[in-house]
Chain A
Amino acid sequence: AQSVTQPDIHITVSEGASLELRCNYSYGATPYLFWYVQSPGQGLQLLLKYFSGDTLVQGIKGFEAEFKRSQSSFNLRKPSVHWSDAAEYFCAVGYTGGFKTIFGAGTRLFVKA
């Protein structure tokens, strides 16, 4: 069955430190992969997406993600975290068989001064 796993429920990072959020997916075909961010009280906003081509994709707000087919992973990274990055982050996969997007359970990012 298709699924998206985000192993970390929450992560705390110091401001200015680097960040990596993990995402693993289970999907037989070529995945359409996404990272969304949800700030408190807001809807989700797309950070970046991967369909094909270069496995390192750049997104908004200084985020990037790397697709590794051999590991079924699509981890999100940022070299230097800002306090405004504190939010909930969702990894997702577009599931062609079900005409829908499947979301992971989310990782809550806390940023400490």
Chain B
Amino acid sequence: DTAVSQTPKYLVTQMGNDKSIKCEQNLGHDTMYWYKQDSKKFLKIMFSYNNKELIINETVPNRFSPKSPDKAHLNLHINSLELGDSAVYFCASSQGGTGFLYEQYFGPGTRLTVT
């Protein structure tokens, strides 16, 4: 069983389009995250949700909107895509509200390419 899954794995789209990435975890964790990994492999937190409530928003443009319908899902919707949005996006989850202090489980990533 996949612990943290993301769909799609690859996403190629044109500038200006709107796209979504879905994430699901079956670990029973309370906290979920979105990370962006750029071309230099630098990994940066974008959002963090605990029990469906937003707890971190790291100065991400308003074009990015996370949605957590339940604590097992955290989706990322991106409006008006720009070239600079091209990256690999990772979903992760951890147990508890202070999960950032403990192990995070990562999904396989979604490679977004904006042309």
Contacts and interface: CB of A to CB of B under 8 A. Distances in A.
A88 B41 contact: yes
Interface of B: 4, 40-45, 48, 55-56, 58, 90, 92, 98, 100-104, 106-109
A105 B40 contact: yes
Interface stretch (A17-25, A78-86, A95-103): A95-103
A102 B107 CA distance: 18
Contacts, number: 59
11 contacts: A43-B106, A43-B107, A44-B43, A44-B104, A49-B102, A51-B101, A88-B41, A100-B56, A103-B44, A106-B41, A106-B43
Contact of B48 (A34, A36, A51, A99): A99
Contacts of A36: 106
**Interface range, A side:** 20 to 34
Contacts of A2: none
A94 B101 contact: yes
Given A36-B106, A103-B43, A103-B44, 20 more contacts: A32-B102, A38-B41, A41-B109, A43-B4, A44-B106, A45-B106, A49-B103, A51-B101, A90-B43, A94-B100, A94-B102, A99-B48, A100-B58, A100-B100, A101-B100, A101-B104, A105-B42, A106-B42, A106-B43, A108-B41
